[in-house]
Amino acid sequence: MAIPLQFEDGQNFSEGFAAVKIGGRWGYIDKSGAVVIAPQFDDTRNFSNGLAEVQIDGLWGYIDRAGGVVIKPRYKTIVGFELGLGTFQEGLAKIWVNLRWGYIDKTDKVIIAPQFISAQVFSGGLAAVEIDNGKWEYVNITGTVVIPPQFVNARSFAEGLAAVAVSDDKWGYIDQSGKFVIEPQFQDADSFSNGRAVITAGCGHGYIDRTGKVIISPRFLAAFDFSGSTATVALLDEHAWGAKVIGKGCHTEYAFTYINESGEIIWQPQ
């Protein structure tokens, strides 16, 4: 069903609702285009797990799908688009208070006191957090350290594995015991999705499987998770459409295209 042009701005649908701007205020519509939560907010985010972040008078809180305030707005924007609170995952959301990150539950009760320099969402019962010495560790939902601080960077667990860095350009993957399953060897590494993960080598991005085997060579300027049997990539080729080589061979201009599971280009920009 098409929804006629009538809004000043809008976001993508998530969990059946989309945020729209009407008369300078944000609210939510359903997929029929009907307004289900009246425009009343300074800013909004998508619904996730039944809740959405909304901003009132410069502060952020959460509403439910009926528009009721679940957590009163009291958290600030940190910098740019980063909020001082995060999406709820596994019952907890990260919050930023007095320059430190901690975690609350859906009643706004502090479960893990703000104490971390940086923090990721919970996944598989663990969250990656950065402590004062710049090292990353993993804690459980009580704040107990499960994997000791030893990484210079770390991502959330996905499909049982987490990407971690032992130096600025040496990324590998650990399991939930902290054991390396894929040894550090990549310049950068993203989380696994559908059995594949995007890795970086030089200016190129490609894909590995859960054993660490490269299944699509790192020859793209950018690469994104597969959706079904296709993925969006940016061509890394000096002859690519509109591409321009600078510096050490990396590109500032490029064109997006699509590949199949074998890494073959299945559509080219016109």
Q: Mind listing the domains of the chain with CATH numbers? A: 1-77 (2.40.10), 88-189 (2.40.128.630), 193-270 (no CATH)
Token representation of residue 113 = 């006191």
**Lateral strand order in the sheet of 18-22:** 9-10, 18-22, 25-29, 35-41
In sequence order, the 6+-apart residues with CB closer than 8 A to the CB of 142 are: 111, 112
* 256, β-bridge pairs: 234
Token representation of residue 193 = 């999705």
Q: Which helix (H) or strand (E) holds 136?
A: strand 136-139
Q: What is the pLDDT of residue 256?
A: 84
Identify the CA nearest to 156 among candidates 144, 132, 139. 139
pTM here is 0.86
Count of residues in the chain: 270
How many angstroms separate the first and last alpha carbons of the chain? 28
CA–CA dist 130, 223 (Å, integer)? 27
CA–CA dist 198, 160 (Å, integer)? 16
Q: What is the pLDDT of residue 255?
A: 76
pLDDT in tens, the chain (270 residues): 667 668 889 999 999 999 999 999 999 999 999 999 999 999 999 999 999 999 999 999 999 999 999 999 999 876 555 677 888 999 999 999 999 999 999 999 999 999 999 999 999 999 999 999 999 999 999 999 999 999 999 999 999 999 999 998 999 999 999 999 999 999 999 999 999 999 999 889 999 999 999 999 998 988 999 999 999 998 855 544 444 443 345 555 667 889 999 999 997 655
Q: What is the pLDDT of residue 186?
A: 96
Q: What is the pLDDT of residue 137?
A: 98
In sequence order, the 6+-apart residues with CB closer than 8 A to the CB of 108 are: 71, 72
CA–CA dist 47, 19 (Å, integer)? 9
